């Protein structure tokens, strides 16, 4: 059973300035719910009740969001506004939240390595990048789909999707042998390749299941693209030593780290709110 989910959330969110000047990008709302809450709900649905968040400076709003706000709760007690807090209260009741700072921005691999103190190095764990918002109305969430796959293969798994060739430079890109419909045994992965160096157009999105040997591998990985410690590079080492799978998930993914994706997600959620609610 996978119980722990790590949320790297230390980035500055510069693409959303000035909104993110004093507010973490993970707190940007799609309708009335912040991105990170969608992520935590997805993790909980997948069976995780230990939520570990890698924070940075100026991220206090995340900690506050998953804590009781006594004045507010007192103020709205007994009014119809209380119903707006049902989902977040339920999450706070069911999950434990732990936090640690990533003091320097040294890449996603480094952020995940910081999580070792929170998730330990004995069991597999999930990783969710909250600005990749995923939804699968009427079916299992993406993380739950991946946990089911983990139960069969017991190895690290990354969620992937096909992207247009001219977009590959924004992602980690994999190639591999398709061993089942939509499931690839990875033989190569490159972080943000130039179009002519990309091994395919199968891009990694912000959902991972990692086996704990990844920590040792990260500690032996050298900085890669942009001088940062890349989880993509560590996963390639893991793939060469054993097995890492790429999984074409079912559902939709919105890149809420970009303005276009954020607006698209907002419109989608606004137009499909009833359909999405039914899944809960």
- Give the footprint of ligand G1P on this chain (CB under 6 A): 108, 129, 132, 171-172, 191, 203-206, 230, 232
Q: Which is nearer to ligand G1P, 110 or 191 (CB)?
A: 191
Alpha helices in 128-251 (DSSP H): 142-153, 214-219, 231-241
Q: Which is nearer to ligand G1P, 2 or 9 (CB)?
A: 9
CB of 117 to ligand G1P, least distance (A): 21
CB of 232 to ligand G1P, least distance (A): 5
Q: Which is nearer to ligand G1P, 53 or 91 (CB)?
A: 53
Inter-residue contact 271 to 280 (CB < 8 Å): no
CB of 187 to ligand G1P, least distance (A): 17
What length is written for the chain? 280
CB of 69 to ligand G1P, least distance (A): 30
Q: Which residues contact 206 (CB under 8 A, 6 or more apart)?
A: 127, 128, 129, 130, 131, 132, 159
Q: Which is nearer to ligand G1P, 136 or 232 (CB)?
A: 232
Q: Which is nearer to ligand G1P, 140 or 191 (CB)?
A: 191
Return d(Cα 62, Cα 37) in angstroms, integer.
9
Taking CB positions, which residue lies at the least distance from ligand G1P? 172
H-run or E-run covering 254: strand 252-255
Q: Which is nearer to ligand G1P, 149 or 159 (CB)?
A: 159
| Torsion angles phi and psi, residue 261, rounded to 5 | -65, -40
Q: Which is nearer to ligand G1P, 124 or 206 (CB)?
A: 206
CB of 166 to ligand G1P, least distance (A): 15
Q: Which is nearer to ligand G1P, 11 or 124 (CB)?
A: 11
CB of 132 to ligand G1P, least distance (A): 5
Which candidate, 212, 232, 27, 36, places its Cα nearest to that of 124? 212
CB of 11 to ligand G1P, least distance (A): 7
Quick count: other Cβ atoms within 10 Å of Cβ 77? 9
**CA 63 to each of CA 23, 53, 55, 68, 236: distance values in angstroms, whole numbers, following the listed order:** 12, 9, 9, 10, 33
CB of 260 to ligand G1P, least distance (A): 14
Inter-residue contact 105 to 12 (CB < 8 Å): yes
**CA 241 to each of CA 10, 155, 164: distance values in angstroms, whole numbers, following the listed order:** 30, 11, 30
H-run or E-run covering 5: strand 4-8
């Amino acid at each position: 059973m996978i119980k722990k989910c790590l949320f790297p959330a230390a980035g500055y969110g510069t693409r959303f300035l000035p909104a993110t000047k004093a507010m973490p990008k993970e707190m940007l709302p799609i309708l009335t719910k912040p991105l990170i809450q969608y992520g935590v709900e997805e993790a909980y649905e997948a069976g995780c009740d230990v939520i570990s968040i890698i924070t940075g400076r100026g991220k206090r709003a995340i900690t506050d969001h998953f804590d009781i706000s006594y004045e507010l709760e007192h103020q709205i007690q007994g009014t119809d506004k209380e119903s707006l807090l049902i989902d977040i209260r339920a999450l706070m009741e069911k999950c434990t939240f732990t936090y640690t700072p990533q003091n320097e921005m040294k890449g996603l691999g480094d952020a995940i390595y910081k999580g070792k103190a929170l998730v330990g190095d004995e069991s597999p764990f999930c990783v969710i990048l909250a600005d990749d918002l995923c939804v699968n109305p009427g079916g299992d969430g993406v993380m739950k789909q991946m946990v089911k796959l983990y139960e069969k293969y017991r190895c690290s798994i990354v969620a992937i999707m096909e992207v247009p060739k001219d977009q590959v430079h924004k992602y980690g890109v994999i190639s591999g042998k398709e061993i089942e419909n939509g499931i690839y045994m990875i033989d190569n992965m490159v972080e943000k390749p130039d179009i002519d160096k990309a091994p395919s157009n199968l891009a990694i999105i912000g959902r991972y299941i990692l086996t704990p040997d990844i920590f040792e591998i990260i500690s032996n990985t050298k900085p890669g693209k942009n001088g940062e410690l890349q989880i993509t590079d560590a996963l390639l080492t893991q793939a060469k030593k054993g097995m890492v799978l790429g999984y074409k998930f079912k559902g939709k993914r919105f890149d809420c780290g970009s303005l276009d994706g954020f607006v698209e997600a907002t419109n989608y959620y606004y137009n499909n709110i009833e359909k999405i609610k039914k899944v809960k």
